[in-house]
Amino acid sequence: MSKTISRRDFLAQTGKTGVLLAGGTAVLSELLDTPEAKAQATPKAFEYQPKPLPFAYNALDGISEQTNKYHHDTHYTGYVRKRNEIEQKLTTVDRTAANANFSEFGELKRRETFNANGQILHELYWDILGGDGKPAGEVVDKLKTEFGSYDNWVADFKACAKAALGWALLVYDPFDGRLHNYSGDTHNQGGVWGSIPLIPIDVFEHAYYHDNGPDRAKYIEAFLRNLKWSEIEKRYQKVKNLKW
């Protein structure tokens, strides 16, 4: 990008700051210092609304009403609130100070993915609970193909849930068309880009300690007993033909 083009002319020609990313960094930083460019780099805040629990607080077998209240009303709702707070702060934060060591912008972007994934994973977690735990559907046939048997999948899923600090997930990966079990230590770590979560289990202590103390295995059994396979199958049918 040549500096012979004036800032005003350049902005007028490109129409949006995103195009500047293709240009030289010296020109970019210089342009971002202008009020005009800062205004164009500022996203509009979106306000997310917490979703209600899709079943009664006392509807699950082995996961208590009190745990569901703590988990949904405090933890999940907290992620949604913090995501909204971050969205708001991102509208005014100084982007010209962004750097990899420390910047307010950088920390907001790191916590943005933590809280966004906290919202998404918890909403899916409850969407696929409230069932009778009886595996059914084409997704189960696919699990048998991928893991050799349904029991093999369960054993691997349980091991992933025991190994993680935060989450274990069954996902569909449109890159290879396969189902995988993954472990993640926190909301924004352990995912594989492009993979679509089908069954996430939350194994942070807040999901089971009130009911089971340190007996995480007992909670994993309860989680599996409450799986709603019709919802899992519905989601699998939507994504099974996706190929990136």
Considering the complex, what minimum distance in angstroms separates the CB of residue 209 from Fe ion?
11
What are phi and psi for residue 144, nearest 5 degrees? -65, -40
Residues 22-51 that bind Fe ion (CB under 5 A): none
C-alpha to C-alpha distance for 65 and 134, rounded to whole angstroms: 22
CB atoms under 10 Å from CB of 38, counted, come to: 16
Considering the complex, what minimum distance in angstroms separates the CB of residue 21 from Fe ion?
35
Considering the complex, what minimum distance in angstroms separates the CB of residue 131 from Fe ion?
19
DSSP-derived 3-state class of residue 25: helix
Please work out, in degrees rounded to the nearest 5, the angle formed at the alpha carbon of residue 219 by the alpha carbons of 223 and 206: 100
**Of the residues 156, 173, 202, 233, which one makes contact with Fe ion according to CB under 5 A:** 202
**Which residue, 75 or 82, has its beta carbon nearer to Fe ion?**
75
C-alpha to C-alpha distance for 92 and 137, rounded to whole angstroms: 48
The amino acid that residue 49 corresponds to is Q
Question: DSSP label at 192?
Answer: -
13-21, 59-67, 79-87, 194-202 -> range binding Fe ion (CB under 5 A): 194-202
Residues 6+ apart with CB under 8 A from 221: 62
124 near Fe ion (CB under 5 A): no
Nearest residue to Fe ion, scored by beta-carbon proximity: 202
**Which residue, 125 or 172, has its beta carbon nearer to Fe ion?**
125
Residues 49-88 that bind Fe ion (CB under 5 A): 75
**Which residue, 190 or 233, has its beta carbon nearer to Fe ion?**
190
The dihedral built from the CA positions of residue 155, 160, 161 and 162, taken in this order, carries a sign that is positive
**Which residue, 45 or 120, has its beta carbon nearer to Fe ion?**
120
**Which residue, 173 or 202, has its beta carbon nearer to Fe ion?**
202
Query: How is residue 40 written in tokens?
Result: 């164009």
233 near Fe ion (CB under 5 A): no
37-45, 81-89, 96-104, 199-207 -> range binding Fe ion (CB under 5 A): 199-207
Please report where in the chains the tokens 């309860």 appear, as a residue. 222
- Range list of H helices, 33-76: 35-41, 65-69
101-109, 134-142, 201-209, 214-222 -> range binding Fe ion (CB under 5 A): 201-209
Contacts with Fe ion by CB under 5 A lie at 75, 202
